[in-house]
Structure 1
Amino acid sequence: MNQEKAMDFTIRFEEAAITAVAIYFLSKYNLGLSVWLWVLLFFSPDFSMLGYVVNARIGAFTYNLFHHRGVALALLATGFLMHLDIFITGGLLLVAHSSFDRMLGYGLKFPDDFKHTSSGRIGKDK
């Protein structure tokens, strides 16, 4: 295994671990919602791709806003400091989803093209 493949595996494994831990904590801060609703909520940050209907710059901004772990950590911190389970849950959901995406090789988007990500190019022109 060459060094690039080994690093890619290490990063994906790390992201899988973060996803698993976030999902575990979501089970503790589940707000009493059903599992089926959680499956829908887990993928809800991907609706931010609708910004690409406007243009690539707006699409990258909206996508990155809902996939940035800094935003997720800010929600988590706010939730813990203010004792608001809805913020804790929202932050955990964003951490879980964004780590899941990164595990699959999708990173934050550059404003020039949807396929140009912080994890490299995605799709056929990889």
Structure 2
Amino acid sequence: MSLRKLISIEYAIGFIICLLFYIHLEYSILLFILLLLVPDITMLGYLFNNKIGAIVYNFGHSLIVPAILLVLAFLTESSSLLMLVIIWLAHIYLDRSMGFGLKYNNAFKETHLQKID
């Protein structure tokens, strides 16, 4: 098995874990489906140029902000924030399982995981 395939499987497992937590917490599956692709709105940054696009896209697809918000959700016992963070994390894991990683400044199709054809 190739390393790229192994990484893809790991991210797919991350997505499944997020989905299972989400279901276990009895959040709305309809909201999960409706909000799953919301982080992709960050692609609008590419309307300006590749550099701004990569910065905005990577903000929405990095694990850093959702991880901070996850801690905040636990500290404040915010069920709504926890729900949104799980969806956000699920989106990131799903994207990465398909090879869509963080973007370099030079082109949308070049990611830290692979060059998308």
| TM-score, scaled relative to structure 2 | 0.91
1:118 and 2:107 matched: no
1:86 to 80, 84, 91: 80
Q: C-alpha separation between the residues in 1 aligned to 2:30 and 2:80?
A: 18
Aligned residues: 116
| Unaligned segments of structure 2, at least 5 residues | none
Q: Percent identity?
A: 32
Instruction: Please report the RMSD computed on the Cα atoms of aligned residues, expressed in angstroms.
Output: 1.3
Higher Cα Rg: structure 1 or 2?
A: 1
Q: C-alpha separation between the residues in 1 aligned to 2:58 and 2:38?
A: 14
**Counterpart amino acid of residue 13 in structure 1:** I
1:29-44 equivalent positions in 2, closer than 5 A = 30=27, 33=28, 35-44=29-38
Higher relative contact order structure (alpha carbons within 8 Å, sequence separation ≥ 6): 2
| Unaligned segments of structure 1, at least 5 residues | none
2:70 corresponding residue in structure 1: 76
Q: C-alpha separation between the residues in 1 aligned to 2:77 and 2:90?
A: 20
Moved >3 Å (runs of 4+): none
| TM-score, scaled relative to structure 1 | 0.85
1:19-38 equivalent positions in 2, closer than 5 A = 19-27=15-23, 28=25, 30=27, 33=28, 35-38=29-32
